[in-house]
Structure 1
Amino acid sequence: MLAVSIAEKQAKKEKILENDFFGAIIFGIIFGIIGARLYYVTFNWNYFSQYPTEIIKTWHGGMAIHGGVLGSILAAYIYTKRKKCSMKFLQSLDLFTFVLPLAQAIGRWGNFMNHEAYGGPTELPWKMFIALKDRMPGYESYSYFHPTFLYESILDLSIFLFLLYYIRNKRNSFGEVTALYLILYSIGRGFIETLRTDSLMIFGMKTAVLISFILSIIGIVMFIYIKKKENKK
C-alpha cells in the first residue's frame, strides 16, 4: 500500500488517469500472484506432478518474486494496449519497478517472521538464530545463519531510494527506470542467492542466480538501446 501510494503521486505528475492507474494495479496484482505461483510450481514440478491438488494451495507456501515480476509485466502489456489507456507500456513498467523494491524491502521481513529464506551457517556479529524445527535438512547441527532476508531488504531499500531520485530527476525516456531495476536488483539478488540454503534448482544450479543473470543482461541491453535512441533524437 505504501508503494502504491508513492507510485500514485508519480502517476499524477505524469497525467495518468486515476482509473487507469488503479485498474492496472488490480490487474497487475492478480497476474503477479499467478505468475509467482506458476514460477514456483514449474521449478518444483517433481513434487507438484505427484500432488497436483497442492498447486492451488498457496497458503502452504511457495511464491517466487521473479515469477511475480514477469506476471506483472505481462499484465502491464495487456492492460496498456487497451484503447484510450492514458499509460504507455514502458511508462507503466517504470511506475511499477521504481516502487517495487520498497515493497520487496518490507515484504522480506515476512521471511524473518517465518524463519525462512536465510543463508548458510555463519558466526558473523549479525548472525541470525534459527530454531531447530526451522533448520534446513543437513543443517541441524548449526544454530546461527546469514540473515539473507536482511541483506536483501537493505539492498531493495537502497535500490528504491536510487530509483526514486532517478525517476524524479534523471529519467529522459520511459523504460530507463525498468532497465535500471533489472540490472541493480538482479546483480544484488544473484549474489545474495549464493548464500541461501533453500534455493530452487535447475540444471544443477540455483534458478534465481540463472534468472538474475538473464534479467541483468536484458536490463543492460534495454538501457543501452534506450540511451542510443535518445542520442539519435
Structure 2
Amino acid sequence: MAILRGNPGEIIKIWHGGIAIHGGLIGGFIAGVIVCKVKNLNPFQIGDIVAPSIILAQGIGRWGNFMNHEAHGGPVSRAFLEQLHLPNFIIENMYINGQYYHPTFLYESIWDVAGFIILVNIRKHLKLGETFFLYLTWYSIGRFFIEGLRTDSLMLTSNIRVAQLVSILLILISISLIVYRRIKYNPPLYSKVGALPWPTKKVK
C-alpha cells in the first residue's frame, strides 16, 4: 500500500503483474456494462449467462497457484494433509522450503466448482440478474473464510485483509440488489426471458 501511495501511477500498470481476481471482476464488470450499453444488450441477462462460466474458470485457475507454489495457507503437518485424504501429488507439492502448507488453492477450487454446479442447476428458477448476484455472493463467502488462512494477503491494516473487506461489500451489495430489484421491478424469471434477439427496451 505504501508503494501505491508514493507511486499512484502503479495502480494502472497492470503489465507489472499482481492484479487480483477482484480487480479483474471490477474491470470486467465495467467493460461489460459499456458493451451492453453500446450494443443495446440486457446486462442482467448477460451477467446470468456468463456467471457460471466465470466461477468455473476461477476454480480451474486456482490450480495455477498450486503449480507456482503460491497463494497457500499457513504451515501444517504432513499428517494433517494426509487426514484430508488428498492425492499424494498434492501433498508433495505443498511441501515448500522444508514445510507443508494449507492447500488453500484446493479449498477455493472445490468451493468454486460447487458454486458452478449450484448456479447451473438453479439458474432457470431465479429472476433475471440473480444468478450473477448469487455468483458474487457465493464466491465472496468462500473467499472471506479461505483468505483468513492465506499468508500472502494484502493488508489494509494490521487486522483487516483487503480481500475480506471486498468480499463483505460484495455480499452486502449483491443481496441488497436482489431484494431491491424484486421489490421495485419484480423482474421476470431467467428462463422466461429467452435467448436472442436481445431486448431493446430499457432494462429495469
| TM tier relative to shorter chain | 0.7 to 0.9
2:41 equivalent to 1:76: no
1:106-185 to structure 2, matched below 5 A, reads: 106-123=60-77, 124=80, 125=82, 126=84, 129-132=94-97, 143-167=99-123, 169-171=124-126, 173-185=127-139
SS at match of 1:230: coil
Amino acid at match of 2:116: F
User: Shift of residue 56 of structure 1?
Assistant: 4.0
1:211 aligns with 2:166: yes
Alignment of 1:1-233 (within 5 A): 44=1, 46=3, 49=6, 56=13, 58=15, 61-82=17-38, 85=40, 87-123=41-77, 124=80, 125=82, 126=84, 129-132=94-97, 143-167=99-123, 169-171=124-126, 173-204=127-158, 205-228=160-183, 229-230=185-186
Indicate the residue corresponding to 1:29 in structure 2.
Answer: none
**Partners of 1:57 and 1:219 in 2: CA distance:** 27
TM score, norm. by length of structure 2:
0.76
Mapped contact 1:101–1:159 kept (Cα < 8 A): yes
Per-residue deviation, 1:225: 1.8
Q: Deviations over 1:57-112 (max 9, x none)?
A: 73x64120001001111011111111x53x21111222222211100011000000
Shift of 1:47: 6.2
Aligned residue type for 1:202: L
Give CA deviations for 1:136-170 in whole Å, capped at 9, x if unaligned. xxxxxx61111000000000000011111122x31
- Paired residue total: 175
Worse overlay, 123-132 or 201-210: 123-132
- Return the letter of the residue paired with 1:66: H
Query: What is the alpha-carbon root mean square deviation over aligned residues?
Result: 2.6
Pick closer, same or farther for the CA change 1:50–1:81 going to 2, 3 Å. Answer: closer
Q: Which amino acid aligns with 2:30?
A: L
Greater relative contact order structure (CA < 8 Å, 6+ sep) = 2
Partner SS for 2:165 = helix
Whole-angstrom CA distance in 1 between matches of 2:172 and 2:14? 34
> Structure 2 CA distance, aligned partners of 1:175 and 1:195?
32
The secondary structure found in structure 2 opposite 1:98 is: helix
Q: Identity across aligned pairs (percent)?
A: 43
SS of the aligned residue for 1:202 comes to: coil
User: Structure 2: how far apart are the matches of 1:200 and 1:154?
Assistant: 23
Cα distance, 1:226 vs. partner? 2.7
Task: Structure 2: state its 5+ residue gaps.
Answer: 85-90, 188-204
C-alpha distance in 2, partners of 1:112/1:146?
11
Looking at structure 2, the residues matched to 191 and 51 of structure 1 have their Cα atoms a distance apart, in angstroms, of 30
For the structure 1 residues 91 and 109, does the alpha-carbon distance in structure 2 shift closer, same or farther, using more than 3 Å as the test?
same
Cα pair distance change 1:213/1:57, threshold 3 Å: closer
Q: How far off is 1:182 after superposition? A: 1.5
Inter-CA distance 73–57: structure 2 relative to 1 (3 Å threshold): closer
